[in-house]
Amino acid sequence: MSESVVFRDKSKLSPRYLPEELPHRQAQIQQIVHVFSDAAEDTDRFPLTVLQVVGIAGIGKTSTVIRSSKMIEEQFAKSRLVLKTAYVNLKLHGGNKYAIYRFLLERMAPELPGQGMSAEEMLRYLLIYLRENRQYALIIMDEIDYLIKTSKDTGIIYDLTRLNEFEPDKPCNVKGVIFIARSTEYYSRLDPAELSTLGRVPMEFSPYSIKQVSDILGSRSVQAFNPKAIGSDVIDKIASITTSPEVNSDVRYALDLLLYAGNLAESQGTNRVTLDHVRKVYGQVHPSITTEEIEQLSRNHLISLMALVRALKSSKKPYVELKDVRLYASEIAERLGMKKIDVEDYLDDLKTRRLVDIKSFKEIGLHGAALSEIEPVLMSKIKDDK
């Protein structure tokens, strides 16, 4: 396989990649780590601590929390203690308390069987397991606002913020629970008891400035592209686009622009990404659909989104009817040897994720123009999810 003349390592632009250094988020990392600075020194006396991290999409909330958790793990290791971090993306693993708590049990106590237990029993057994094995835990719940908006059961917040009350006469070995959300709008769906245990003082992340986005993209570009394959003019242009009101400082979108512009340059046989490559990709790529959003979708979600993209491409109109989406979904499912799927529920969920715009059964579209570039990405992910 020949080496790329453009890319050094494409994976450095992936939403799954967590860089060693997070430019312009060191203050937030230090703040989170400081909250738990005494936890490893006196574990029994350190209380269960609840944090909220809030901010719009793509401004480093998840990366900051995960990087902080690794540093907290290191603090425990220095004290010869084991701290396990369980990260749960509630768009991927949510649905109900049972599924979420079983995932927690599998991550932190795989020896314990979850079958036959209620959701609350799983939490209780997890706490006993940690205490008996002298292990500690940090739980990270990402996209909590999405779960609260889509689920009638908001009790997960009450449960996790009161883990220390399961056995009040014994120390709780879960030292922290961190909730990550895009806003505090979901507060309106919580009852007073849940709000009381959650607290009303979140750590808010501000959007990046154009200079900060340039710094972040410059750092990633050094790792992702070959020398001289990308210049400061391209970085500055993407930073300008990213900080526009339409994109709202979403760095994940900026990284996608870099990736797609590099792919376009590579496909054209050039060894350098130019402003023209960026302009062409920006004119076609939909700002609300990032590679991370695609990674979070189930196969049926992907097929429903693919069907909508194809229906929009065929009609060349901003909206199509539900029957058109159903038709394309049936064709895709049949080609893949799958059973026919009911797209309505998946389209509703895609609307909740702000990927799809539904005005009525006769007006379904994306939040902008459909793009040809996303079609092969969707199909590749569909095939990978067999």
How far CA 120 is from CA of 14, 97, 103, in Å, comes to 36, 9, 13
Mean pLDDT of 194-204: 87
Mean pLDDT of 359-369: 78
Amino acid 10: pLDDT: 93
Asked whether the beta carbons of 119 and 68 are under 8 A apart, the reply is: no
- Better-scored residue on pLDDT, 338 or 64: 64
Amino acid 317: pLDDT: 81
Q: Which two tokens stand for residue 214?
A: 């340039």
Point out which residues pair with 365 in neighbouring strands.
Answer: 357
Is there a single domain that holds both residue 53 and residue 86?
yes
The total number of structural domains that make up the chain: 3
Is there a single domain that holds both residue 165 and residue 260?
no
pLDDT tens-place string over residues 37-71: 999 999 999 999 999 999 999 999 999 999 999 99
Is there a single domain that holds both residue 48 and residue 151?
yes
Share of the chain above pLDDT 90, in %: 62
pLDDT tens-place string over residues 77-107: 999 999 999 999 998 876 788 889 999 999 9
In a domain, 348, yes or no: yes
Amino acid 15: pLDDT: 82
Amino acid 213: pLDDT: 97
Which of 183, 204, 225 is the last residue in one of the domains?
204
Whether the predicted pLDDT of 369 surpasses 60: no
pLDDT tens-place string over residues 204-244: 999 999 999 999 999 999 999 999 999 999 999 999 999 99
Mean pLDDT of 12-25: 91
Mean pLDDT of 347-360: 87
What number of other Cβ atoms are within 10 A of residue 267's Cβ? 10
Q: If residue 84 lies in a helix (H) or strand (E), which one and from where to where? A: strand 82-89
Amino acid 370: pLDDT: 44
Q: If residue 256 lies in a helix (H) or strand (E), which one and from where to where? A: helix 251-267
Amino acid 199: pLDDT: 83
Is there a single domain that holds both residue 199 and residue 61?
yes
The helix/strand/coil state of 246 is: coil
Amino acid 372: pLDDT: 58
> Predicted confidence band at 155 (pLDDT cuts at 50, 70, 90)?
confident
Residue 242 CA to residue 338 CA, distance in Å, equals 38
Is there a single domain that holds both residue 45 and residue 172?
yes
Residues 6+ apart with CB under 8 A from 362: 319, 321, 322
Amino acid 194: pLDDT: 87
Is there a single domain that holds both residue 235 and residue 353?
no
Is there a single domain that holds both residue 148 and residue 195?
yes
Q: What is the dihedral of CA 191, 196, 197, 201, to 10 degrees?
A: 120
In a domain, 24, yes or no: no
On average, the pLDDT of the chain sits at 89
Whether the predicted pLDDT of 153 surpasses 90: no
Q: 95: domain CATH number? A: 3.40.50.300
Mean pLDDT of 285-310: 82
Mean pLDDT of 110-122: 82
Asked whether the beta carbons of 280 and 242 are under 8 A apart, the reply is: no
Whether the predicted pLDDT of 180 surpasses 90: yes
Is there a single domain that holds both residue 266 and residue 187?
no
Q: 218: domain CATH number? A: 1.10.8.60
Amino acid 140: pLDDT: 98
- Better-scored residue on pLDDT, 381 or 35: 35
Amino acid 47: pLDDT: 92
The helix/strand/coil state of 66 is: helix
Is there a single domain that holds both residue 131 and residue 214?
no
Range of the domain at 235: 207-284
> At 84, phi and psi to the nearest 5?
-100, 130
Amino acid 288: pLDDT: 61
0.75 cut: is pTM over it?
yes
In a domain, 261, yes or no: yes
Which of 253, 284, 315 is the last residue in one of the domains?
284
In a domain, 27, yes or no: no
Amino acid 132: pLDDT: 93
Is there a single domain that holds both residue 133 and residue 59?
yes
Whether the predicted pLDDT of 361 surpasses 90: no
Q: 301: domain CATH number? A: 1.10.10.10
Mean pLDDT of 148-174: 89
Residue linked to tokens 């902080």 = 68
- Better-scored residue on pLDDT, 36 or 149: 36
pLDDT tens-place string over residues 242-292: 999 888 899 999 999 999 999 999 999 999 999 999 988 887 766 667 777
In a domain, 157, yes or no: yes
Amino acid 373: pLDDT: 60
Whether the predicted pLDDT of 386 surpasses 70: no
